Structure 1
Amino acid sequence: MTAPEAIGPTLKRGEKLLEVNGGRVVYEILGKQGDFIALTPGGRFSKDIEGLRPLAQALVKGGYRVLLWDRPNCGKSDVQFYGQSESHMRAETLHALITGLGIGPCILAGGSGGARDSMLTAMLYPEIVRKLVVWNIVGGIYGTFVLGSYYIVPSILAVRGTGMRGVAQVGEWKERIAENPANRERLLSFDADDFLTLMLRWLNAFVSKPGQTIPGVDDEMFDNIGVPTLIIRGGENDMDHPKRTSLEVSCLIKGSTLIDPPWPEDAWERAAEARASGKVKRFNMFDTWVQAAPAILDFLGRR
C-alpha cells in the first residue's frame, strides 16, 4: 500500500508532469498554434496565482501558445534544493522543461521573481530564447532584503531549531505539502546540515552587492542576452521593483526596449494597501498584469 507521503499532486484537466533533476514539474500549455511563450510569475507563487492566467489568455488570443509552469517549490511541483541560488535552480529547470517538451527556442516572459528567472535563463541558456519580456524587476536594498527575510530566513530559523521536521512546519512548506503530499517526505529526507548550508547560500544571493543589479547575478552576465528584449519599467515609487533597477537593466541589455508601465505608476502600492486593509480577500498583486498584453503583443509582432 502506498504511503500517504508518496502520493503526488492531483492534476486538473490540462496539467501534465515532467521529471527534471529528480523532481516532478507540473505544467500546462494554453493555445493550439503559434510561437511558444514561457510565462513565469513572481515569488514562490504557482501558475494558478490570480492575475497570471488572464495575461496568458490574452497572449493566446494574440496568436501564441503559452507554457505555464509551477517552478520547483511552487504550487504542485516537487520541492527541490540545489544550485547557486533559487533562481539558478529555476533557470536550469526551465531550460530542461523547454528542451524536454521540444518547444525551443521560445519567448520568455515574466514579472517580479519571474522576470529574474527569465533573464537568468536567457543568460545561461541563450540558445533556447527567441525574445525576452520582463516587468516588475526586483532590485535595490529594500527589495532584496525583503525577499531574503521572507523566503529564506524562516527556513534557516526552523532547521537550526528543530531540523527538517521544523522546516516542514513552516507555513510556506506546509502549503507545498498540502498541494503535493509527496513533498513532506522529500523535505524530511533532506539532510539538515546540507539544507542549512544551501539556505545560507540562497540567502547570500539576496545580499545587495556592487556589480549585481539584480539579486545574485553579476552584471557581466547581461552580456549574454542578445535577443530582442522588452522591459516594462517599475512604478515611480515602487520600493519592491524600483524604477531605477529597470533603468539599469535597460542599460545592461544592449538594444533593449524600455517602456512606461501600462498600469498606474502607483498600482503596486495601491494593491498592497488594499490587501493589507482587508478590502480584498484574495491575492491581488498581479491583477494589473493583463494590461501589459497589448504592449507585449505589439513588441512580439515586430521583426
Structure 2
Amino acid sequence: MARIDVNGLMLDYELIGDEGAPPLVLTPGGRYARDTAGVPELGAKLTQGGYRVLLWDRPGCGASDIAFTAPSESVMNAEALVGLVDALGLRDVTLAGGSAGSRITLMAAARMAANVRRIAIWWISGGPVGLAGLAWYYCGDQIAAASKGGMEAVAELPSWADQMARNPGLRDILLAQDPETYIATMQCWGKAFAYSDASPVPGMAEADFARLTMPVLTFRSGKSDMAHTRETSEWVHRLLPNSTMVEPPWDDQEWNYVSTFPEDVAARRGRFERWPLLAPMLLDWFDG
C-alpha cells in the first residue's frame, strides 16, 4: 500500500501482482474502501489470472483525501483515477468496476480512451428512484447536518467515521469548509445525480459513450434491482459501440440479498463479498 499526490489530493492505493503483468484497475462502489470484503479477494483472483491489479481509495473513501472543488463527486473521482493511472505510468489499462465503480470506470475511460484496452462493468446505478437515492446517500445527510450544526455536525456523521479512522486529517479538511459554501456544493453534487432521459449514467453524455470503442463487458442487472435497474444496464449496452451483454454469475435477487449483509472488514463481510464469483467471466473476457 502507498500514497501518492494526484491533483493535490493524497490517494491511498495498492498494486498487487507481478510488476510486469498488464495493469488492471478495480473500482468498488459506494464510499467503500479498497479493502472492503470481496474487492481484494476479486483482485487476488485477477492477479492469479495474470494481471497487475490496482486497488485504490477514491477521494473521500478509505484513507484518501477529499476536496470540494469539482462540479460533482463523480467527476472528482473520475479525474482522480485518470491522474492516478498517469502518475503510476500505467499503459494500455483494463478497467473494471461495480455500482459507483462502474460509473467512475465509464467516466474515467471517456477521459483517457486511448489508454484503455478493455472494460467490464456491473451494477450500474440508474433509474429515477435509484438516482434520487444516491443524491440523498452522498449529499442529503451532509446538507441536513451542516444546516443544523455546521461542519462540526458534518464531521460527526457516521458516513465519515470509517474514513476518519483511516485518515485523521479528513476531519480537519471537513472542519475547514464554510458551512454555507459546503451546503451549496452538496446541492450541486446532489443535482448531478438527477435522472435524465438523455443518458442512463449521470456525468456521461452520448458522445462520451461513443468514445468508448474498446470492447466492454456489460453485466445485465437483475429485474428486481431498483438501485441498478435492468433498463439502465441495457441502455448503457445500447449506447456503447462495442459492448457485449452477459448475465451475471448470480440470480435475480442478488442485490436485495447482499444488501442485508453486515459491513465488517475484519470478518470479511459486506455487499461486495460475492464479487469474486465474477473472476472466471472477467478473466475470460479480458484475455479474449
TM-score by length of structure 1 reads 0.89
Choose which of 9, 14, 17 in structure 1 pairs with 2:3: 17
The DSSP-based 3-state class of the residue aligned with 2:221 is coil
Choose which of 109, 122, 138 in structure 2 pairs with 1:135: 122
Deviation readout 1:197-252 (Å, 9 max, x if unpaired)? 21111100122122121124333321121111111111121111111111110000
Structure-2 residue corresponding to 1:242: 229
The DSSP-based 3-state class of the residue aligned with 1:231 is strand
Choose which of 43, 56, 63 in structure 2 pairs with 1:56: 43
* Matched AA of 1:224: R
Structure-2 residue corresponding to 1:169: 156
Contact 1:213-1:219 at 8 Å conserved across structures: no
Deviation at 1:79, TM superposition (A): 2.2
The DSSP-based 3-state class of the residue aligned with 2:117 is strand
Structure-2 residue corresponding to 1:37: 24
Structure-1 residue corresponding to 2:112: 125
Structure 2 distance, partners of 1:162, 1:274, is 32
Deviation at 1:260, TM superposition (A): 0.6
Structure 2 distance, partners of 1:73, 1:207, is 21
Contact 2:38-2:268 at 8 Å conserved across structures: no
Deviation readout 1:13-42 (Å, 9 max, x if unpaired)? xx1010122221000001013111010000
Matches within 5 A, 1:201-220: 201-220=188-207
Matches within 5 A, 1:1-303: 15-32=1-18, 33-273=20-260, 275=262, 283-302=269-288
Contact 1:37-1:66 at 8 Å conserved across structures: yes
Structure 1 distance, partners of 2:55, 2:125, is 21
The DSSP-based 3-state class of the residue aligned with 2:223 is coil
Contact 2:132-2:193 at 8 Å conserved across structures: yes
The DSSP-based 3-state class of the residue aligned with 2:26 is strand
Unaligned stretches of 5+ in structure 1? 1-14
Aligned positions, number: 284
Structure 1 distance, partners of 2:11, 2:49, is 27
Deviation readout 1:254-297 (Å, 9 max, x if unpaired)? 12111011112211112224559xxxx87431122111111111
Deviation at 1:119, TM superposition (A): 0.3
* Matched AA of 1:20: V
Contact 1:263-1:288 at 8 Å conserved across structures: no
Structure 1 distance, partners of 2:126, 2:120, is 17
Contact 1:98-1:128 at 8 Å conserved across structures: no
Structure 2 distance, partners of 1:44, 1:301, is 30
Structure 2 distance, partners of 1:274, 1:66, is 26
Unaligned stretches of 5+ in structure 2? none
Structure-2 residue corresponding to 1:12: none
Contact 2:118-2:216 at 8 Å conserved across structures: yes
Structure 1 distance, partners of 2:135, 2:183, is 14
Deviation readout 1:142-195 (Å, 9 max, x if unpaired)? 211111111210101122222222211111123322211111111111222322
Deviation at 1:48, TM superposition (A): 0.6
The DSSP-based 3-state class of the residue aligned with 1:290 is helix
TM-score by length of structure 2 reads 0.94
* Matched AA of 1:34: A
Indicate the percent of aligned positions where both proteins have the same amino acid: 37
Structure 2 distance, partners of 1:209, 1:203, is 14
